[in-house]
Amino acid sequence: MRERLIAAFIGLAVAVVLLYGIPRAYLLANMITEQETTKAGRAAELFALVVEERSARDEPTTQEFLERHLSPGSNLEYVDPSGDVVRAGPARADDDLVASRPVAGGGTVTLSRSSEVVDQRISEALLPLVLIGLGLLVVAGTVGYLMARRLSRPFGELAQAAEHLGRGRFDVHFPHYRVPEAEAIGEALRRASSQLDELVQREREFASNASHQLRTPITALRLQLEDLSMWSQTPPEVAEELQSYLSELDRLSGSITEILELARGRRLGDAVEVDLDELLGDVAERWRRQAEAAGRVLVHQEGRTAPVHVVPGPVIQVLDVLIENACSHGRGRITLATRERADLVAILVGDEGPRTIDDGVFRRGHSTPGGDGHGLGLAIASDLAASMGGRLSLLDEPTTTFALALPRADAGRRPATQAASGDGTD
């Protein structure tokens, strides 16, 4: 905007200078030419009188006499009554100004003025006009820069405030401006900030209440399971099974804490470098028993991928959703793997069942053609991926394979050529 305003000011000044300067220069050049023509005519008349007086005194008009009265760039020619010609000065050019006057008693005096002298007079007359025009352009450019800076400053501040607002800072101060357009934008942002702040507060209160409502029965259930596992009447194999459920309840409680803190915006700064292969190994080990209970085989294909910079909790929650979805709706072996692409590292969770769904499963309320609903799990997982700066997608492959793309820990520090060389992960 600033550059455009400066260009507009300078363009307007150039247009004014040209519209005024060109006609003025044309008129000034004509005026000087007419003045030089008049001066040449008067000088020719004067020489004609002088020659007449010399003839009356029987004094000849010689070249030396004429040269004494010549100005630079002029030519003087006298033709006496007998036809003899006396010349003084440089040779006459075709574009010179010429003025001839008859001499009383016979003869002619012709005075010519060089066109170079006339052009020099015109240039000297136009020089102030050109300097004034250049001065106006400099002044217009300076004024335009100052005005553009002053006019664009509110919009720059509003853009910066809107950026803070987009990052979740609702305490940004939006000042008032005298520019009506800027004030209208500021007013709209103030209303949006207030509404978003109120909405976020409601969501946090809802998350806090939901967390409290969920933790209470989980704690009670955990105590009951602990009691049951410690009863002497409980068979050892049942007690072992109950102990395994306790770890799942602890994971569920941890997940609720992660979601609550993520809703409060506290975990965004807790991102650390995570080795995905190690994380996938832990997740596979935890899910392997449940997968086997469902008649499925869970395989972790180890690889060597770059670490990612994320909060581990949401990544584990997304993987839990994908593995549970594969156990419930997929077929055959469930595979966990990683793949690198440019500044991203993708976690692949797939099974051997044909792909019957599309990216619509990440939308709330989406239903599959066969009525095989996937609930809200994939939609929440997609939101969690987005909150980490990643993306959850469904690969275009014959079998069902989900890809959770996460930013590399060294993203932004890699050379551009190296970052552009990926292996084609979708």
Strand duo 74-79 + 108-113: pairing = antiparallel
Structure tokens at 249: 């309840």
- Measure the CA angle with vertex 120, ends 118 and 125; round to 5°: 95
User: Which pLDDT score, from 0 to 100, does residue 426 have?
Assistant: 43
Output 23 or 389, whichever has higher pLDDT: 23
Give the span between the Cα atoms of 26 and 24, in whole angstroms.
Answer: 5
For 61-108, the pLDDT digits (tens) are: 888 888 887 888 888 888 888 888 888 888 778 888 888 888 887 888
Using 50, 70 and 90 to split pLDDT, how confident is the model at 417? very low
Contact (CB, 8 A) for 72 and 120: no
Contact (CB, 8 A) for 400 and 350: yes
What are the residues facing 335 on neighbouring strands?
299, 350
Contact (CB, 8 A) for 76 and 45: no
pLDDT > 90 in the chain, percent = 5
Tell me, what amino acid is at 101?
R
3-class DSSP string for the chain: CHHHHHHHHHHHHHHHHHHHHHHHHHHHHHHHHHHHHHHHHHHHHHHHHHHHHHHHCCCCCCHHHHHHCCCCCEEEEEECCCCCEEEECCCCCCCCEEEEEECCCCCEEEEEECHHHHHHHHHHHHHHHHHHHHHHHHHHHHHHHHHHHHHHHHHHHHHHHHHHHHCCCCCCCCCCCCCHHHHHHHHHHHHHHHHHHHHHHHHHHHHHHHHHHHHHHHHHHHHHHHHHHHCCCCCHHHHHHHHHHHHHHHHHHHHHHHHHHHHCCCCHHHCEEECHHHHHHHHHHHHHHHHHHCCCCEEECCCCCCCEEECHHHHHHHHHHHHHHHHHHCCCCEEEEEEEECCEEEEEEEEEEECCCCHHHHCCCCCCCCCCCCCCHHHHHHHHHHHCCCEEEECCCCEEEEEEEEEECCCCCCCHHHHHCCCCCC
For 172-212, the pLDDT digits (tens) are: 777 888 888 888 888 888 888 888 878 877 877 777 777 77
Beta carbons within 8 Å of 92's beta carbon, 6+ residues apart: 75, 77, 98, 112
Contact (CB, 8 A) for 154 and 7: no
In this model, does residue 349 exceed pLDDT 90? Answer: yes
Q: What is the average pLDDT value for the chain, to the nearest integer?
A: 80
In this model, does residue 318 exceed pLDDT 50? Answer: yes
User: Which pLDDT score, from 0 to 100, does residue 194 have?
Assistant: 84
Mean pLDDT (whole number) for 279-303: 87
Beta carbons within 8 Å of 5's beta carbon, 6+ residues apart: 144, 147, 148, 151, 152
Using 50, 70 and 90 to split pLDDT, how confident is the model at 367? low
Q: What's the pTM?
A: 0.43
